[in-house]
Structure 1
């Protein structure tokens, strides 16, 4: 399928409901088609990965085409410099997280972008740094205690940003790191309480938000990570 054929298919799949949701994210109406992420994932499975096609879709400017493009990039053929350029185009939290979770965190040496982006003035690069921490904590089976400690140190140092889309990603990273095991949970809780007691307005919010979940985690047989006690009750 060509880029134009794919966009035509996306337009045929569109609904006003989904288009309204996309516009609420801050995407200009002219860049919104109105297709759910579930439908985009289903379409991606029918298309062979292609760097050229993915770039064409991205350059179209359509939000949904960019979501699809992320799923068509080959992580082995994509460089950190290229995804840094892609993130420069991002203007919504959902595309930021989609790009981080479905492509960047699967790439070799993605941690370099955490270090690069965590001091960025670009809202979604900064959010991306914390989204990558959360994604790594969730999905990397061999993540080390040293890496998680380094993430906690970065959160302590770089969590002052008061933008909603940034501070929410900081809380998410802190909570996911704290679900690794009880030792890491204790460290995450200590940091959350420190932010709550000694931080600026954003850090106080992050600490309070994280504590609500971090204080309510349990170990469940067959699960490597801790889960919410409320979730455990729902499973029984």
Structure 2
């Protein structure tokens, strides 16, 4: 399939419901098709990875085409400059997270973006830094203590953020570090309680929302990561 055929396929699967959802995220209507992420993922499995095709889809400016493009990029043939360009064109939290979880985290230079973007004044680059911390904490098994400590230092130092989309990513990052194991949990809680004592209202908000999840965790046999007691109770309640 070429780029025009793919756009036609996306338009054939569009719905007003999904289009309205995308527009609510701040995507201009003219760049919205209205297709679910599940549909995009199914389509990605039918199309061979191709950077040439992915770039063509990205440049259409359609939100859904960009989501699909991320899944079609060949990691081995994309540069850090390419990723900088892509992230500079991101205007929504879902595309930001989608890029982090499906593309950037798979590169060998992921941490370079964390340390660079955490200082950025661009909303979605800054969110991406914390999303990458959260994703690394969730999925990278061999993170050293030094890397975890560096992540927590960045969370502590750069958590004075007003934009909701960034604040939520900071909470997410702190929670995911705190759920790795009991050692990480202790470190994450120390950071959370330090932020809670801050005079900065954003940091206090972040701390309170992180502590709700990592303030009381347990080890569950079938999970490699810790589980919040509140989450466990909810799951048990559903089983009753």
- Category of TM-score, reference length = shorter chain: over 0.9
Q: Counterparts of 1:89-104 in structure 2 under 5 Å?
A: 89-104=89-104
Q: Please name the residue that 2:174 is paired with.
A: 174
Q: Counterparts of 1:194-209 in structure 2 under 5 Å?
A: 194-209=194-209
Preserved CA contact (<8 Å) 1:134 1:172: yes
Give RMSD over aligned pairs: 1.0
Over residues 114-171 of structure 1, what are the superposed CA-to-partner deviations in whole Å (9 max), with x where a residue is unaligned?
A: 1110111110000000000000000111112211111000111111111101111000
Preserved CA contact (<8 Å) 1:162 1:201: no
Task: Mark the runs of 5 or more structure 1 residues left unpaired by the alignment.
Answer: none
Preserved CA contact (<8 Å) 2:213 2:230: no
Structure 1's 110 and 197: CA in aligned 2 closer, same or farther, altered over 3 A?
Answer: same
Whether 1:190 aligns to 2:176 is no
Q: Please name the residue that 2:16 is paired with.
A: 16
Q: Please name the residue that 2:122 is paired with.
A: 122
Q: Please name the residue that 1:46 is paired with.
A: 46
User: TM-score of the superposition, structure 1-length normalised?
Assistant: 0.98
Structure 1's 48 and 199: CA in aligned 2 closer, same or farther, altered over 3 A?
Answer: farther
Shift, 1:222, TM fit: 3.1
Counterpart-to-counterpart distance in 2, 1:216 and 1:35: 39
Shift, 1:231, TM fit: 3.3
State the aligned residue count.
236
Task: Mark the runs of 5 or more structure 2 residues left unpaired by the alignment.
Answer: none
Moved over 6 A (4+): none
